[in-house]
């Protein structure tokens, strides 16, 4: 059985994503699309507009056949760690063809990565310094050795996937298939296409409380229903930020320094800013907290780590122990799992046990509980315990 892998957040799932899945299956002649999807929090450190179960169902309705969760330890990270975790999971699941959207699909991303890799691997700042953006660090090197710069979001991720393939030693068995992005650009907030809108634009429409008919051209009917209802969780500045303030104000700096990436004086800076500017709103706080050294996205992730009390040692352990958690599958997806079962070496999780939430799923369980706590309406089911994969025919 031939499968194609896709890495996604689906925040939210829209027609552009359905198009990508259809094209990925077509160009690879795949029988199934296997998706590795972020859980309840996306790469920028923000809660997804809908929880992982709702987004899984929308993905299956839209053409995906099997959805695995990208663990929190990889999902809320800079591009190179996000990509590395996703690629490792796809290959471990038995996928050797990986498709992704790109603004410049004509580029040979593996060739670019091969050319730049030696220099990048020698660059200790790239490997160990989280104070610069992934794009800034590698683009400086990439321009020097290839004369090319990548500046658009999907191209950057495409390069990250290619680097991950090389770093993991998969280049002899994995093929990458860039798919030309159609319609709105990644960050485009307006809508110019009659059929495809970016996830950003849809989130803007959702904030404006758009009607069902306004979403109808760009998403499936189930997605339109959810989007009309609005975000599943309370807004960060109104609900999450006070918890962050409380956490920082009641925690000694020495303990804050144990939190992942709150190093090199950043814990002291966080404490100082929140202590001094207690009455300002979240956007004002972030504007003051941000600097040339630390981007908004980097600090947003750090704020989430702080809320979740993710220690450095916990993150390192989680990064070293990936797993395959099945969120949902179609009949084709279940057939793929059955046919590849003997090849999979990573732990495969279908149902969460008590032992898992205190061990391999510790960070994801904690993140799920925080998402539940911040939900606008009480959730009828727990985010992790007692849940089984979504099955869609």
Confidence band for 130, pLDDT divided at 50, 70 and 90: very low
Among 6, 34, 24, residue whose Cα is nearest residue 335:
34
Which residues line the annotated binding site for ATP?
7-20, 101, 154, 181
- What are the domain boundaries of the chain? 3-229, 236-316
Q: How far is CA 247 from CA 215, 259, 275, 295, 308, in A?
A: 38, 12, 11, 22, 10
Which residues line the annotated binding site?
7-20, 101, 154, 181
- The percentage of residues in the chain with a pLDDT greater than 70, rounded to a whole number, is 90
Lowest mean pLDDT among 14-23, 86-95, 193-202, 321-330: 193-202
pLDDT at 142 over 80: no
When the pLDDT of each residue in the chain is averaged and rounded to a whole number, the result is: 91
Confidence band for 238, pLDDT divided at 50, 70 and 90: confident
pLDDT at 143 over 50: yes
Output 253 or 147, whichever has higher pLDDT: 253
Burial of residue 380 (CB within 10 Å: 0-12, 13-18, 19+) is: exposed
Mean pLDDT of 141-170: 85
CATH superfamily of 3-229: HUPs (3.40.50.620)
Which range, 77-86, 109-118, 147-156, is most confident? 77-86
Confidence band for 188, pLDDT divided at 50, 70 and 90: low
Helices (H), 212-361: 212-215, 221-229, 241-249, 253-256, 266-276, 282-289, 296-308, 312-319, 331-340, 354-357
pLDDT at 264 over 70: yes
pTM, rounded to two decimals: 0.93
Q: Are strands 97-102 and 3-8 parallel, antiparallel or unpaired?
A: parallel
Among 48, 13, 8, 37, residue whose Cα is nearest residue 368:
48
Mean pLDDT of 171-178: 96
Mean pLDDT of 208-217: 92
Mean pLDDT of 13-20: 95
């Amino acid at each position: 059985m031939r499968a194609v892998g896709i890495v996604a957040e689906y925040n939210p799932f829209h027609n552009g994503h359905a198009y990508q899945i259809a094209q990925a299956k077509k160009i690879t002649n795949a029988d199934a699309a296997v998706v590795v999807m972020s859980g309840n929090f996306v790469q920028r450190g923000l809660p997804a507009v809908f929880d992982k179960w709702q987004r899984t169902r929308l993905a299956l309705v839209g053409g995906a056949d099997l959805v695995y969760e990208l663990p929190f330890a990889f999902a809320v990270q800079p591009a190179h760690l996000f990509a590395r975790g996703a690629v490792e999971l796809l290959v471990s699941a038995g996928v050797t063809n990986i498709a992704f959207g790109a603004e410049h699909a004509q580029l040979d991303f593996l060739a670019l990565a091969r050319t730049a890799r030696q220099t990048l691997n020698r660059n200790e700042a790239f490997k160990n310094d989280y104070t610069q953006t992934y794009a800034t660090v590698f683009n400086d090197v990439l321009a020097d050795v290839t004369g090319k710069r990548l500046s658009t979001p999907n191209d950057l991720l495409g390069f990250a996937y290619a680097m991950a393939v090389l770093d993991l030693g998969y280049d002899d068995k994995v093929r990458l298939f860039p798919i030309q992005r159609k319609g709105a650009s990644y960050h485009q907030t307006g809508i110019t296409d009659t059929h495809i809108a970016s996830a950003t634009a849809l989130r803007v429409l959702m904030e404006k409380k758009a009607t069902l008919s306004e979403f109808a051209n760009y998403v499936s009917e189930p997605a339109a229903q959810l989007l009309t209802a609005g975000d599943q969780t309370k807004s960060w500045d109104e609900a999450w930020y006070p918890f962050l303030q409380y956490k920082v104000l009641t925690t000694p700096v020495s303990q804050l320094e144990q939190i992942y990436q709150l190093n090199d004086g950043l814990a002291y800076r966080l404490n100082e800013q929140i202590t001094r500017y207690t009455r300002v709103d979240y956007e004002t706080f972030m504007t003051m907290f941000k600097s040339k050294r630390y981007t908004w996205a980097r600090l947003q992730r750090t704020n989430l780590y702080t809320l979740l009390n993710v220690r450095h040692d916990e993150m390192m352990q989680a990064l070293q122990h990936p797993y395959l958690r099945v969120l949902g599958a179609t009949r084709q997806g279940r057939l793929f799992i059955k046919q590849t079962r003997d090849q999979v070496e990573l732990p495969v999780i279908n149902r969460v046990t008590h032992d898992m939430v205190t061990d391999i799923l510790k960070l994801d369980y904690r993140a799920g509980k925080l998402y539940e706590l911040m939900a606008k309406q009480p959730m009828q089911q727990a985010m992790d315990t007692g849940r089984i994969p979504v099955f869609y025919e």
